[in-house]
Every structure is written in C-alpha cells, then in structure tokens.
C-alpha cells in the first residue's frame, strides 16, 4: 500500500543535501581544499566536511527511489517542468552576463555553452537524472516482481561490482564514470526504494543514535585514511577514490543519512511549512549556482587559501557561504515560481506532460 503522508524528514534531508552540494563546489571548484598545507586541524576539518558533502549526490537519487519506488505511474509533467526551469535559468543567466559582464562571453562558443551547458559536460547530474527518471517505471516493474530476498541480493551484487570492485580495483571496470552516470543513479534509486519498501520505520527510529554515530565514524575514517597517506606518502594518496561517489564509505553514508532522516517525524506545522518551502527550492539552488558562468565568477578559486585559516574561521566561511548561496537562490526560486504561475508555465507543463504520457510508454498497462 502506497504511503501518502509527507515525509518532512526527507524534506530536511533534501535541504541539507543541496547545501552539501554547494559545499562541494566551495571546497572543490573554489579551491578551499588544498594539499599544500600538509597536516593540520583546519585541513583535517575540511577533509571531514567534504567527506560528508560527497554523499549528497547519492542521497538525491536515493531519495527519488524512496519517494517513487512504490508508485505504479509517474507524471511526465514533473520532468517537463524541470527541463523548462533549466532552460529558463540558462537564458536568464546568459542574458544577465551579456549585459553586465560581456567580457565573460567573449566568443560564440562560450555563449553556446552558457545557453546549453550539457553540451560542454556541465549539469551532468540533471542530464543523468532525466535518463533515470524515464527508467523509473521499468525499475519499479522489476522491483514489484522481485521478492525481498531477490531485491536485496540484486543490490548486494550491484554494490559489490559497482562500488567495492571499482573502488578497491582502482579502475572503472564497468564504465560508470566513477558515479557520474545515470546507471549509478539508477543503482542509488533502487537502494532508496528498498529502504522505503522493506526497512521498517519503527526499527529505524530505535537505531537513530547508532546511525548518527556510524555516520560520524565513517567520515572520521576518511580523515584517518587521509592522515595515514599524508604521513606515509607525504601526499593524500587516493583521497578522491575513497570519498568519491562510488566509494563504499560514501554509499554507506548516503544510506545512513536516508534511513536517519526518513525516520524523523516532524509534526510542528510551522516547521513543516518552512521545510516544504525550502525543500521546494532545492533544485533551483542547484541549477543557479552550478551554471558555468556563475561557478566561474563566484566560486572558481575564490576560496583558495582556506586551509591556511584558523579552523573556526575556515568553517565559518564554508558554512556562511553555503547559507548565503542557499538563501539567495531560494529567493530567486520564489520569484521564478511567481513568474511561472503568472505566465501559466505550470499549466503548460501539465498539458505537455499529459501529451507525453500518451506518447511515451512510461505508464503503459500490462494489457
């Protein structure tokens, strides 16, 4: 039986996960994580933070599986809305830069990549998510005909091959592009669906403390591995491997986070309203701050030298930047939502979605 009660704990997780993705770009694109400073409290704290942030991409796909895994049909209008939202922001951002910073769009190729970021390899998650979304009915059909034991065995097999073998074999044997792939997101989707279908909320509620400790311990282990390689090899050998999307540690972190937050029962109506709203703007936060022009102007190498700061100052900069980016992008989402409603874009998405539902075999019956 499909559960219809809104999972506000998952809304909170969506907010935190998107904040973590912003954190990834602060530390990676922004140059906040440097190998040049050696071992220190600030460097260790930054490694701990980025380890937490890395699981956020997996979490988003798992949340989709958690929310859609029981459904017998999907609404294509949701996908149409996402695509039009991306197109809207690409046009608007490019237009703003053409007016106020034309030097950043010096040639036609840059303009083209700004209007259509996927053709330059940007917005990889969005592109992979579209593919995964179209595969949801097929995955759900497979899930529905499997027993719990069969489903669990399939996940263990995929986890072993795609995560364990890829990580410790030090090679992308199965061409999942180290997690930058729709097929990796499909695995994460199925893992999230398993949690929804077979992991009892009562059991999760009793294990919250254990899950929180396990999550902290997993990320602490990443710091320990970093320290060990720094001491032995004088460089953080393999750090990107054991914190990457397909790393077993990162996969476990994502699963723990999903189980922990999905078991939360938030009843306060005011809090629920805020969470629902902030969660609704998460996708816009991703699209806005990940646009290549925005990343280049506001993030690229803007946080270099962060490892040289005092640990509390560095953490204040990281979390302060994350909060500021989320709040600004959330405000833009509110304006965009009003505009889409006024222009009837949402209704247009519904009509286009209805037409596509008839054309695409996504919700076809067994007859």
Tell me: the pLDDT tens digits for 65-99? 999 988 877 888 888 999 999 999 999 999 999 99
Mean pLDDT for all residues in the chain? 90
pTM (predicted TM-score): 0.93
Q: Which residue has the higher pLDDT, 305 or 163?
A: 163
Q: Supply the DSSP string of 50-77, one letter for each residue.
A: HHHHHHHHHHHHHHHHHHHTT-S---HH
Are 259 and 191 a contacting pair, CB within 8 Å? no
CA dist 84 and 359 (Å) reads 19
CA dist 100 and 250 (Å) reads 40
pLDDT at 362: 66
Residue 311 CB partners (closer than 8 Å, separation 6+) = 41, 42, 45
Per-residue confidence band for 1, with pLDDT thresholds at 50, 70 and 90: very low
pLDDT at 353: 85
> What are the φ/ψ torsions at residue 307 (nearest 5 degrees)?
-65, -20
Tell me: the pLDDT tens digits for 232-269? 877 767 778 888 999 999 999 999 999 999 999 888 99
- State mean pLDDT over 301-312: 88
pLDDT at 125: 95
Residue bearing tokens 């602060």: 26
Kindly state the percentage of the chain with pLDDT values over 70: 95
pLDDT at 367: 42
Tell me: the pLDDT tens digits for 273-299? 999 999 999 999 999 999 999 999 999
pLDDT at 3: 56
Q: 110: which 2 tokens? A: 């840059």
- The domain ranges of the chain are 8-358
């Amino acid at each position: 039986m499909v559960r219809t009660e809104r999972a506000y704990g998952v809304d909170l997780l969506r907010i935190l996960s998107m904040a973590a993705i912003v954190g990834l770009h602060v530390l990676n694109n922004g140059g906040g994580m440097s190998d040049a400073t050696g071992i220190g409290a600030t460097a260790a704290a930054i490694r701990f933070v980025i380890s937490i942030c890395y699981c956020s991409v997996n979490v988003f796909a798992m949340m989709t599986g958690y929310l859609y895994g029981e459904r017998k049909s999907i609404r294509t209008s949701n996908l149409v809305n996402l695509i039009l939202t991306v197109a809207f922001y690409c046009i608007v951002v490019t237009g703003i830069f053409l007016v106020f910073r034309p030097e950043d769009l010096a040639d036609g190729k840059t303009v083209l990549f700004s209007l259509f970021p996927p053709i330059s390899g940007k917005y990889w998650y969005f592109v992979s998510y579209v593919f995964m979304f179209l595969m949801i009915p097929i995955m759900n059909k497979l899930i529905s005909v499997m027993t719990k034991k069969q489903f669990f065995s399939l996940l263990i097999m995929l986890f072993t091959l795609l995560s364990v073998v890829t990580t410790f074999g030090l090679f992308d044997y199965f061409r999942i592009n180290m997690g930058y792939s729709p097929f990796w997101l499909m695995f994460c989707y199925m893992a999230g669906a398993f949690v929804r279908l077979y992991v009892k909320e009562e059991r999760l509620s009793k294990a919250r403390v254990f899950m929180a400790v396990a999550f902290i311990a997993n990320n602490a282990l990443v710091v320990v591995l970093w320290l060990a390689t720094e001491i032995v090899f004088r460089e953080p050998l393999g750090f990107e491997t054991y914190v990457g999307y397909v790393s077993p540690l990162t996969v476990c972190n994502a699963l723990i986070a999903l189980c922990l937050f999905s078991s939360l029962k938030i009843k306060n109506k005011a809090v629920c309203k805020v969470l629902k709203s902030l969660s609704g703007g998460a996708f816009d936060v991703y699209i806005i701050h990940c646009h290549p022009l925005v990343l280049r102007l506001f993030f690229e190498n803007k946080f270099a030298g962060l490892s040289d700061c005092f640990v509390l100052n560095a953490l204040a900069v990281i979390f302060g930047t994350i909060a500021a980016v989320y709040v600004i992008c959330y405000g833009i989402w509110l304006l965009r939502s009003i505009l889409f409603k006024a222009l009837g874009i949402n209704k247009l998405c519904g009509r286009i979605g209805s037409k596509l539902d008839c054309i695409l075999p996504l919700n076809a019956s067994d007859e």
